[in-house]
Amino acid sequence: MDTAFIQRLTIELNKDYIQTKKRGRVMKLSTRIKPISYLKAHAAEVLKTLEEERNPLIITQNGEGKAVIQDLRSYEETQETLALLKILALGNKQIDESRVQPASVVIDRLRKMRDDG
């Protein structure tokens, strides 16, 4: 995963709304809110727009936010980012707990496993 991808997912909090920096554009989530009736009436159009613009859409029911939908590619990128963040958090935890070994020791152990195996 490259730095540009991570930068595209940078989230900034603003007073009244959340902005997501994505592909050089700033998207206000507050402008991407639709009632469930709109989704029901325009499902094909909504899916096409999600895929083209790659911006999530907030769905409301009875005036309350109930769901967020997004295109599949954006969802997969988000899942990859979350996985990377979990790996980094685990690595930091292991460092804090002094559960680390020099790379040379690990490489030697892996080579021995390969050769014995």
The predicted structure's pLDDT at residue 111? 95
**What's the start-to-end Cα distance of the chain, in Å?**
32
Within this chain, do residues 116 and 80 fall inside the same structural domain, yes or no?
yes
Name the pairing type of β-strands 57-61 and 33-35.
parallel
Does residue 112 carry a pLDDT above 90?
yes
Burial (Cβ within 10 Å: 0-12, 13-18, ≥19) of residue 59: buried
Question: To 5 degrees, how large is the angle CA 87–CA 88–CA 92?
Answer: 120
Q: In angstroms, what CA-CA distances link 45 with 29, 62, 84, 112?
A: 19, 22, 33, 57
Q: State pLDDT tens for residues 2-13.
A: 555 544 444 443
pTM: 0.61
95 alpha carbon, distance to own chain's centre: 25
The predicted structure's pLDDT at residue 19? 46
Within this chain, do residues 79 and 117 fall inside the same structural domain, yes or no?
yes
Question: Are 12 and 19 contacting, i.e. CB atoms less than 8 angstroms apart?
Answer: yes
Does residue 54 carry a pLDDT above 70?
yes
Within this chain, do residues 102 and 81 fall inside the same structural domain, yes or no?
yes
pLDDT confidence bin for 66, thresholds 50/70/90 = very high
Within this chain, do residues 58 and 85 fall inside the same structural domain, yes or no?
no
Within this chain, do residues 79 and 107 fall inside the same structural domain, yes or no?
yes
pLDDT confidence bin for 65, thresholds 50/70/90 = very high
Q: Give the domain extent around 15.
A: 1-29
Q: State pLDDT tens for residues 19-33.
A: 445 555 555 666 789
Within this chain, do residues 96 and 113 fall inside the same structural domain, yes or no?
yes
Q: State pLDDT tens for residues 31-51.
A: 789 999 999 999 999 999 999
The predicted structure's pLDDT at residue 52? 93
Within this chain, do residues 57 and 79 fall inside the same structural domain, yes or no?
no
Within this chain, do residues 60 and 77 fall inside the same structural domain, yes or no?
no
Within this chain, do residues 86 and 117 fall inside the same structural domain, yes or no?
yes
